[in-house]
Amino acid sequence: MITLSSQHRLCHFGAMALVASLLCGCSMLLPAKSPTPTLYSFDSPQPVGQTVSAAPVKMGAPTLIVSIPRAASGFDSQQIIYIRQAHTFEYFRQSQWADAPAGMILPLIVAALERSGQFSAVIQSPTSAVGQLRLDVEIVRLQHEFLTLPSQAHFTLRAHLLDTATRQVVAWREFDTIVPSASEDPYGGVLAANSAVRLVIEQLALFCGQTAGNLPKIQP
């Protein structure tokens, strides 16, 4: 014979079993948690553990303001883009940039321009400082291309150097570099992209320095 107390216990156990069953069912309906993606960044242009001395600043060198870099549509996120056929973008699921590439190249550009010795100061935006020149750059493409073997990293950067007083473009150039990948995977593409970025930044610093050197000197 089942007593009233026993009935209460049976009802309690039954309710607990029902709740457990419902929770289990709900957990099966939830999407599986995706693994955390591996994050990659751009290396400093100078070798690790070594100090690269800046060139002496030339007399009458202008001050340069470096604007926040922009990126063409599709290249303005942390996604690492790869292509297997022309005009088709794909993204690595488990590999991403630590930040949008446009943001990561800004301090690298500033450091390279400072080392050139062609500017009295190189200041990155946003800033209230006033400079004689302003550098605007845009990432046109940064992608891992599997169109050839070995695959390759393709980096294109467009740069405009402007006179801040007249707002006129003093000079502009588009830099385009392709570096073969050492392996057919995201890491190989990241290493190749780092090399491409370093090469382009070196060319950019040379371009800006030569342009500034041909401008009228500022009187002290």
CA dihedral angle for residue 168, residue 141, residue 107, residue 58, rounded to 10 degrees: -40
Evaluate whether 83 touches 89 at the Cβ level (below 8 Å). yes
Q: What is the token pair recorded at 157?
A: 């950067």
Strand, helix or coil for residue 217: coil
What is the Cα–Cα distance from 192 to 90, expressed in whole angstroms?
18
> Can you give the pLDDT of all 220 residues of the chain as single tens digits?
545 455 555 445 454 554 455 455 544 455 566 778 899 999 865 544 445 556 667 777 899 999 999 999 999 999 999 999 988 999 999 999 999 999 999 999 999 999 999 999 999 998 888 899 999 999 999 999 999 999 999 999 999 999 999 999 999 999 999 999 999 999 999 999 999 999 999 999 999 999 998 887 654 4
Alpha helices, H only, 43-87: none
